[in-house]
């Protein structure tokens, strides 16, 4: 194998390892936050049976490693799942949310450019 091909393969391998490590860090940080999403959805005074049913429905009763691989497979398939607040698919909501985000980013960049000049 020629040197440029080896360099490209090495960069691709580095990229894959970096993506896996980054995904693991993001997943662990999300899951190590204090509190429980079921408390947000059902409220603080929810009965334990309802909490257990919702945790099972959301897959939160599974071991952390299984939840990570399930989350990772969704990210690879570009399917981020459903919103915990609306229950709708996040992929359907994304274009509407990005529209507002891009307008804010563009406005902020214009303001920063004007201030810099």
pLDDT at 80: 86
Pair 52, 21 in one domain: yes
- Count of positions (residues) in the chain: 117
Pair 24, 80 in one domain: yes
Residues 115/107, Cβ–Cβ less than 8 Å: no
Span 33-87, pLDDT tens digits: 887 788 778 887 888 898 889 889 888 889 999 999 998 898 889 888 888 778 8
Q: State the residue for tokens 């603080």.
A: 44
Pair 77, 105 in one domain: no
pLDDT at 1: 61
Pair 74, 25 in one domain: yes
Q: Report the pLDDT averaged over residues 81-99.
A: 86
State what percent of residues in the chain have pLDDT above 70. 99
Q: Report the pLDDT averaged over residues 14-42.
A: 89
Pair 27, 77 in one domain: yes
Pair 63, 108 in one domain: no
pLDDT at 66: 94
pTM over 0.95: no
pLDDT at 2: 75
Pair 97, 47 in one domain: no
DSSP 43: -
Average pLDDT, the chain: 89
Pair 40, 12 in one domain: yes
Q: Report the pLDDT averaged over residues 94-102.
A: 90
> Which H or E run contains 35?
none
Pair 59, 78 in one domain: yes
Structural domain harbouring 8? 3-87
Pair 54, 105 in one domain: no
Pair 17, 72 in one domain: yes
Q: What's the domain count of the chain?
A: 2
Pair 74, 102 in one domain: no
């Amino acid at each position: 194998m020629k040197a440029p091909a080896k360099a490209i393969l090495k960069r691709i391998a580095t990229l894959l390892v970096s993506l896996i490590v980054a995904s693991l860090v993001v997943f662990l940080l999300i899951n190590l936050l204090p509190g429980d999403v079921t408390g947000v959805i059902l409220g603080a005074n929810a009965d334990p049976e309802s909490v257990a049913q919702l945790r099972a429905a959301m897959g939160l009763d599974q071991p952390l490693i299984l939840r990570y691989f399930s989350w990772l497979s969704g990210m690879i398939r570009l399917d981020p799942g459903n919103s915990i607040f609306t229950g709708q698919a996040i992929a359907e909501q994304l274009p509407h949310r990005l529209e507002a985000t891009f307008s804010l980013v563009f406005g902020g960049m214009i303001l920063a450019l004007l201030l810099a000049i």
